[in-house]
Protein backbone atom coordinates (compact mmCIF):
# COMPACT_ATOMS: atom_id res chain seq x y z
CA UNK A 1 0.00 0.00 0.00
CA UNK A 2 1.45 3.35 -1.07
CA UNK A 3 0.77 6.11 1.44
CA UNK A 4 1.33 9.86 1.52
CA UNK A 5 1.11 10.67 5.18
CA UNK A 6 -2.02 8.79 6.29
CA UNK A 7 -3.52 8.92 2.79
CA UNK A 8 -3.78 5.43 1.32
CA UNK A 9 -3.51 5.34 -2.48
CA UNK A 10 -3.45 1.64 -3.35
CA UNK A 11 -0.61 -0.61 -4.43
CA UNK A 12 0.49 1.33 -7.52
CA UNK A 13 -1.31 4.68 -7.75
CA UNK A 14 -1.75 6.64 -10.97
CA UNK A 15 -1.63 10.40 -10.55
CA UNK A 16 -2.97 13.10 -12.82
CA UNK A 17 -0.20 15.62 -13.43
CA UNK A 18 -0.77 19.30 -12.72
CA UNK A 19 -0.94 20.88 -16.17
CA UNK A 20 -1.52 24.58 -16.75
CA UNK A 21 -4.84 25.29 -18.51
CA UNK A 22 -5.57 21.54 -18.53
CA UNK A 23 -5.90 20.10 -15.00
CA UNK A 24 -8.96 22.15 -14.09
CA UNK A 25 -12.08 20.81 -12.30
CA UNK A 26 -13.88 19.77 -15.52
CA UNK A 27 -10.91 17.74 -16.74
CA UNK A 28 -10.22 16.33 -13.29
CA UNK A 29 -13.84 15.16 -13.10
CA UNK A 30 -13.57 12.94 -16.18
CA UNK A 31 -10.13 11.66 -15.12
CA UNK A 32 -11.44 10.74 -11.67
CA UNK A 33 -14.31 8.80 -13.23
CA UNK A 34 -11.80 6.92 -15.38
CA UNK A 35 -9.39 5.76 -12.73
CA UNK A 36 -7.05 8.56 -11.55
CA UNK A 37 -6.09 7.80 -7.93
CA UNK A 38 -4.75 11.23 -7.00
CA UNK A 39 -5.04 14.49 -8.87
CA UNK A 40 -3.40 17.88 -8.62
CA UNK A 41 -4.71 21.30 -9.55
CA UNK A 42 -3.10 23.48 -12.17
CA UNK A 43 -0.12 25.23 -10.64
CA UNK A 44 -1.04 28.38 -8.75
CA UNK A 45 1.14 31.47 -8.43
CA UNK A 46 2.11 32.26 -4.85
CA UNK A 47 2.11 35.96 -5.69
CA UNK A 48 -1.33 35.62 -7.27
CA UNK A 49 -2.76 34.02 -4.14
CA UNK A 50 -1.32 36.70 -1.90
CA UNK A 51 -2.70 39.47 -4.17
CA UNK A 52 -6.12 37.75 -4.36
CA UNK A 53 -5.75 37.61 -8.15
CA UNK A 54 -9.01 36.22 -9.55
CA UNK A 55 -7.41 33.57 -11.77
CA UNK A 56 -5.27 32.23 -8.93
CA UNK A 57 -8.14 32.19 -6.45
CA UNK A 58 -10.38 30.33 -8.92
CA UNK A 59 -7.78 27.58 -9.18
CA UNK A 60 -8.34 26.82 -5.49
CA UNK A 61 -11.76 25.40 -6.38
CA UNK A 62 -11.82 21.74 -5.38
CA UNK A 63 -14.76 19.42 -4.87
CA UNK A 64 -15.46 16.51 -2.53
CA UNK A 65 -15.80 13.97 -5.35
CA UNK A 66 -12.23 14.75 -6.46
CA UNK A 67 -10.62 13.65 -3.22
CA UNK A 68 -7.90 12.83 -2.64
CA UNK A 69 -6.60 15.95 -4.32
CA UNK A 70 -3.56 18.17 -4.02
CA UNK A 71 -3.18 21.89 -4.66
CA UNK A 72 0.08 22.86 -6.35
CA UNK A 73 1.79 26.22 -5.86
CA UNK A 74 4.87 27.84 -7.41
CA UNK A 75 7.00 30.89 -6.75
CA UNK A 76 10.54 32.09 -6.10
CA UNK A 77 10.26 33.98 -2.80
CA UNK A 78 10.36 31.86 0.34
CA UNK A 79 8.13 34.10 2.44
CA UNK A 80 5.55 34.42 -0.34
CA UNK A 81 5.51 30.66 -0.83
CA UNK A 82 5.07 30.08 2.90
CA UNK A 83 2.14 32.51 2.98
CA UNK A 84 0.60 31.06 -0.19
CA UNK A 85 0.89 27.54 1.23
CA UNK A 86 -1.18 28.55 4.25
CA UNK A 87 -3.82 30.14 1.98
CA UNK A 88 -3.98 27.04 -0.23
CA UNK A 89 -4.30 24.72 2.77
CA UNK A 90 -7.40 26.62 3.90
CA UNK A 91 -9.16 25.48 0.70
CA UNK A 92 -9.22 21.95 2.11
CA UNK A 93 -6.92 19.84 -0.09
CA UNK A 94 -5.53 16.52 1.10
CA UNK A 95 -2.02 17.47 -0.04
CA UNK A 96 -0.01 20.59 -0.82
CA UNK A 97 2.39 20.17 -3.72
CA UNK A 98 5.32 22.41 -4.62
CA UNK A 99 6.17 22.93 -8.28
CA UNK A 100 9.92 22.70 -8.77
CA UNK A 101 9.61 21.40 -12.32
CA UNK A 102 7.92 23.89 -14.66
CA UNK A 103 10.45 24.61 -17.44
CA UNK A 104 8.81 27.55 -19.25
CA UNK A 105 10.84 30.74 -19.41
CA UNK A 106 8.33 33.00 -17.67
CA UNK A 107 8.52 30.73 -14.62
CA UNK A 108 11.94 29.08 -14.58
CA UNK A 109 13.92 32.17 -15.57
CA UNK A 110 12.47 33.99 -12.56
CA UNK A 111 13.79 31.38 -10.17
CA UNK A 112 10.51 29.49 -9.74
CA UNK A 113 9.52 26.04 -11.01
CA UNK A 114 12.58 24.29 -12.45
CA UNK A 115 14.56 27.51 -12.00
CA UNK A 116 15.14 26.66 -8.35
CA UNK A 117 17.18 23.62 -9.44
CA UNK A 118 20.02 26.11 -9.89
CA UNK A 119 19.95 26.75 -6.12
CA UNK A 120 19.38 23.49 -4.25
CA UNK A 121 20.04 25.06 -0.84
CA UNK A 122 17.24 27.56 -1.43
CA UNK A 123 15.00 24.74 -2.66
CA UNK A 124 15.54 22.88 0.60
CA UNK A 125 15.05 25.99 2.74
CA UNK A 126 11.84 26.93 0.93
CA UNK A 127 10.48 23.42 1.31
CA UNK A 128 11.25 23.38 5.02
CA UNK A 129 9.32 26.63 5.54
CA UNK A 130 6.32 25.36 3.59
CA UNK A 131 6.22 22.12 5.58
CA UNK A 132 6.14 24.16 8.80
CA UNK A 133 3.37 26.41 7.46
CA UNK A 134 0.73 23.71 6.87
CA UNK A 135 -0.79 20.75 8.69
CA UNK A 136 -1.27 18.55 5.63
CA UNK A 137 1.27 16.40 3.76
CA UNK A 138 3.61 18.32 1.46
CA UNK A 139 4.82 16.75 -1.77
CA UNK A 140 7.14 17.97 -4.51
CA UNK A 141 7.16 17.68 -8.29
CA UNK A 142 10.52 18.35 -9.88
CA UNK A 143 12.87 17.42 -12.73
CA UNK A 144 16.20 15.60 -12.81
CA UNK A 145 18.12 18.87 -12.78
CA UNK A 146 18.59 22.09 -14.70
CA UNK A 147 20.89 20.46 -17.28
CA UNK A 148 22.55 17.14 -17.87
CA UNK A 149 25.70 18.20 -16.04
CA UNK A 150 23.83 19.51 -12.98
CA UNK A 151 21.73 16.43 -12.13
CA UNK A 152 21.67 15.89 -8.35
CA UNK A 153 18.27 14.27 -8.02
CA UNK A 154 19.35 11.54 -5.56
CA UNK A 155 20.69 14.17 -3.18
CA UNK A 156 17.70 16.46 -3.80
CA UNK A 157 15.13 13.77 -3.02
CA UNK A 158 16.89 12.83 0.22
CA UNK A 159 17.33 16.41 1.40
CA UNK A 160 13.70 17.26 0.66
CA UNK A 161 12.59 14.16 2.53
CA UNK A 162 14.74 15.21 5.48
CA UNK A 163 12.92 18.55 5.77
CA UNK A 164 9.54 16.88 5.71
CA UNK A 165 8.08 16.15 2.26
CA UNK A 166 6.06 12.94 2.13
CA UNK A 167 6.36 12.03 -1.56
CA UNK A 168 8.20 13.19 -4.67
CA UNK A 169 7.19 13.08 -8.34
CA UNK A 170 10.07 13.26 -10.78
CA UNK A 171 9.72 14.22 -14.44
CA UNK A 172 12.65 12.32 -15.90
CA UNK A 173 13.96 15.18 -18.04
CA UNK A 174 16.13 18.19 -17.28
CA UNK A 175 14.85 21.71 -17.60
CA UNK A 176 17.15 22.15 -20.58
CA UNK A 177 15.31 19.35 -22.39
CA UNK A 178 11.91 20.99 -21.87
CA UNK A 179 9.58 18.28 -23.28
CA UNK A 180 11.94 17.10 -26.01
CA UNK A 181 13.99 13.94 -26.28
CA UNK A 182 13.35 10.79 -24.29
CA UNK A 183 12.76 10.88 -20.55
CA UNK A 184 15.59 9.08 -18.74
CA UNK A 185 14.01 7.04 -15.98
CA UNK A 186 17.30 5.38 -15.01
CA UNK A 187 17.81 8.22 -12.54
CA UNK A 188 14.61 7.20 -10.76
CA UNK A 189 16.19 3.80 -10.16
CA UNK A 190 19.07 5.57 -8.46
CA UNK A 191 16.68 7.58 -6.29
CA UNK A 192 14.81 4.43 -5.26
CA UNK A 193 18.09 2.61 -4.55
CA UNK A 194 19.08 5.17 -1.92
CA UNK A 195 18.79 3.23 1.38
CA UNK A 196 17.98 6.43 3.27
CA UNK A 197 14.94 7.26 1.15
CA UNK A 198 11.60 5.96 2.42
CA UNK A 199 9.01 8.29 0.85
CA UNK A 200 7.08 7.26 -2.30
CA UNK A 201 8.69 8.11 -5.62
CA UNK A 202 6.39 8.67 -8.61
CA UNK A 203 7.73 8.64 -12.15
CA UNK A 204 6.61 11.07 -14.84
CA UNK A 205 7.44 11.49 -18.51
CA UNK A 206 6.54 9.61 -21.70
CA UNK A 207 3.97 7.22 -20.19
CA UNK A 208 1.53 7.06 -23.08
CA UNK A 209 0.36 3.44 -23.16
CA UNK A 210 -0.45 0.55 -20.81
CA UNK A 211 2.44 -1.43 -22.28
CA UNK A 212 4.96 1.30 -21.51
CA UNK A 213 3.53 1.72 -18.01
CA UNK A 214 4.06 -1.98 -17.30
CA UNK A 215 7.58 -1.95 -18.76
CA UNK A 216 8.62 1.10 -16.73
CA UNK A 217 6.99 -0.19 -13.54
CA UNK A 218 9.00 -3.38 -13.73
CA UNK A 219 12.22 -1.74 -14.89
CA UNK A 220 12.46 1.33 -12.68
CA UNK A 221 10.95 0.29 -9.34
CA UNK A 222 8.84 3.42 -8.86
CA UNK A 223 5.91 3.45 -6.41
CA UNK A 224 3.44 4.86 -8.93
CA UNK A 225 3.21 7.01 -12.03
CA UNK A 226 2.08 10.51 -12.87
CA UNK A 227 0.32 10.81 -16.23
CA UNK A 228 0.25 14.15 -18.04
CA UNK A 229 0.01 14.79 -21.75
CA UNK A 230 -1.27 11.30 -22.61
CA UNK A 231 -4.44 11.96 -20.60
CA UNK A 232 -5.43 15.11 -22.53
CA UNK A 233 -8.60 14.22 -24.37
CA UNK A 234 -8.10 10.60 -23.33
CA UNK A 235 -8.96 10.15 -19.62
CA UNK A 236 -9.46 6.43 -20.20
CA UNK A 237 -5.71 5.88 -20.01
CA UNK A 238 -5.83 5.50 -16.21
CA UNK A 239 -8.21 2.54 -16.23
CA UNK A 240 -6.51 1.07 -19.29
CA UNK A 241 -3.17 1.03 -17.46
CA UNK A 242 -4.72 -0.44 -14.32
CA UNK A 243 -6.43 -3.20 -16.27
CA UNK A 244 -3.26 -4.07 -18.20
CA UNK A 245 -1.15 -4.18 -15.04
CA UNK A 246 -3.69 -6.46 -13.36
CA UNK A 247 -4.46 -8.82 -16.25
CA UNK A 248 -1.91 -8.34 -19.02
CA UNK A 249 -4.81 -7.65 -21.37
CA UNK A 250 -5.84 -4.45 -23.11
CA UNK A 251 -9.25 -2.97 -22.45
CA UNK A 252 -11.31 -2.34 -25.55
CA UNK A 253 -10.94 1.23 -26.76
CA UNK A 254 -13.85 3.48 -25.80
CA UNK A 255 -16.49 3.58 -28.51
CA UNK A 256 -17.85 6.65 -30.24
CA UNK A 257 -20.88 7.01 -27.97
CA UNK A 258 -18.72 6.98 -24.86
CA UNK A 259 -16.27 9.47 -26.33
CA UNK A 260 -19.04 11.87 -27.25
CA UNK A 261 -20.72 11.49 -23.85
CA UNK A 262 -17.47 12.19 -21.98
CA UNK A 263 -16.60 15.10 -24.28
CA UNK A 264 -20.06 16.59 -23.65
CA UNK A 265 -19.77 16.11 -19.90
CA UNK A 266 -16.35 17.77 -20.00
CA UNK A 267 -17.71 20.63 -22.11
CA UNK A 268 -20.79 21.12 -19.90
CA UNK A 269 -18.70 21.40 -16.74
CA UNK A 270 -16.15 23.63 -18.47
CA UNK A 271 -18.84 26.11 -19.55
CA UNK A 272 -20.54 25.93 -16.16
CA UNK A 273 -17.30 26.59 -14.27
CA UNK A 274 -15.60 29.16 -16.53
CA UNK A 275 -18.44 30.70 -18.48
CA UNK A 276 -19.30 29.98 -22.08
CA UNK A 277 -16.54 31.92 -23.83
CA UNK A 278 -13.61 30.70 -21.73
CA UNK A 279 -15.03 27.23 -21.25
CA UNK A 280 -15.34 26.65 -24.99
CA UNK A 281 -11.91 28.12 -25.66
CA UNK A 282 -10.11 25.88 -23.16
CA UNK A 283 -11.90 22.74 -24.35
CA UNK A 284 -10.37 23.06 -27.81
CA UNK A 285 -7.09 21.38 -26.87
CA UNK A 286 -8.94 18.18 -25.96
CA UNK A 287 -10.95 17.42 -29.11
CA UNK A 288 -8.10 16.00 -31.19
CA UNK A 289 -7.48 13.22 -28.69
CA UNK A 290 -11.13 12.53 -27.94
CA UNK A 291 -11.56 11.60 -31.60
CA UNK A 292 -8.05 10.57 -32.59
CA UNK A 293 -7.82 8.07 -35.43
CA UNK A 294 -11.19 8.75 -37.02
CA UNK A 295 -10.92 8.95 -40.82
CA UNK A 296 -11.64 12.22 -42.64
CA UNK A 297 -12.30 13.93 -39.34
CA UNK A 298 -10.40 17.15 -40.03
CA UNK A 299 -13.45 19.21 -41.14
CA UNK A 300 -15.27 18.35 -37.90
CA UNK A 301 -12.21 19.07 -35.78
CA UNK A 302 -11.65 22.40 -37.54
CA UNK A 303 -15.25 23.38 -36.93
CA UNK A 304 -15.08 22.34 -33.26
CA UNK A 305 -11.94 24.37 -32.54
CA UNK A 306 -13.41 27.47 -34.15
CA UNK A 307 -16.97 27.22 -32.78
CA UNK A 308 -17.76 30.05 -30.38
CA UNK A 309 -21.03 28.95 -28.78
CA UNK A 310 -22.04 25.94 -26.72
CA UNK A 311 -24.93 25.20 -29.08
CA UNK A 312 -22.58 25.13 -32.07
CA UNK A 313 -20.20 22.64 -30.43
CA UNK A 314 -23.10 20.45 -29.26
CA UNK A 315 -24.50 20.41 -32.79
CA UNK A 316 -21.14 19.31 -34.22
CA UNK A 317 -20.89 16.50 -31.68
CA UNK A 318 -24.37 15.32 -32.67
CA UNK A 319 -23.30 15.37 -36.33
CA UNK A 320 -20.22 13.31 -35.49
CA UNK A 321 -22.42 10.75 -33.72
CA UNK A 322 -24.58 10.46 -36.83
CA UNK A 323 -21.87 10.40 -39.50
CA UNK A 324 -19.62 7.92 -37.66
CA UNK A 325 -22.35 5.75 -36.12
CA UNK A 326 -20.80 2.57 -37.51
CA UNK A 327 -17.15 3.43 -36.87
CA UNK A 328 -15.22 1.01 -34.66
CA UNK A 329 -12.16 2.22 -32.72
CA UNK A 330 -9.20 -0.13 -32.61
Angle, CA of 238, 45 and 227, to the nearest 5°:
15
Q: Give the 3-state DSSP-derived string for 218-276, with helices as H, strands as E and coil as C.
A: HHHCCCEEEECHHHCCCCCHHHHHHHHHHHCCCCCCCCHHHHHHHHHHHHHHHHHHHCH
Based on the residue annotation, tell me whether 31 is a catalytic residue of this protein: no
CA distance 226 to 232: 13
CA distance 77 to 216: 36
User: By C-alpha distance, which of 176, 186, 170 is closest to 224?
Assistant: 170
- Looking at 39, 102, 304, 313, which residue is catalytic? 102
CA distance 193 to 183: 19
Are 103 and 175 in contact by the 8 Å Cβ rule? The answer is yes
Q: Which residues are catalytic, by number?
A: 102
Amino acid sequence: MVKIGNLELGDFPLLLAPMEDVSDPPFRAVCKENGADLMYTEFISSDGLIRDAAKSIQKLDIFDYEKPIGIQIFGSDIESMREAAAIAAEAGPDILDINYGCPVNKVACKGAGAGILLDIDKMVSMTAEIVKAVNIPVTVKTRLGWSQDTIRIVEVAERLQDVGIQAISIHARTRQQMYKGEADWSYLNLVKANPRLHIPVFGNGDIDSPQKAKEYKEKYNVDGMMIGRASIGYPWIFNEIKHFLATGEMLAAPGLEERINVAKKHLDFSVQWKGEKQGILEMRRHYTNYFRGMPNFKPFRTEMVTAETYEHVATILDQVAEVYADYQFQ
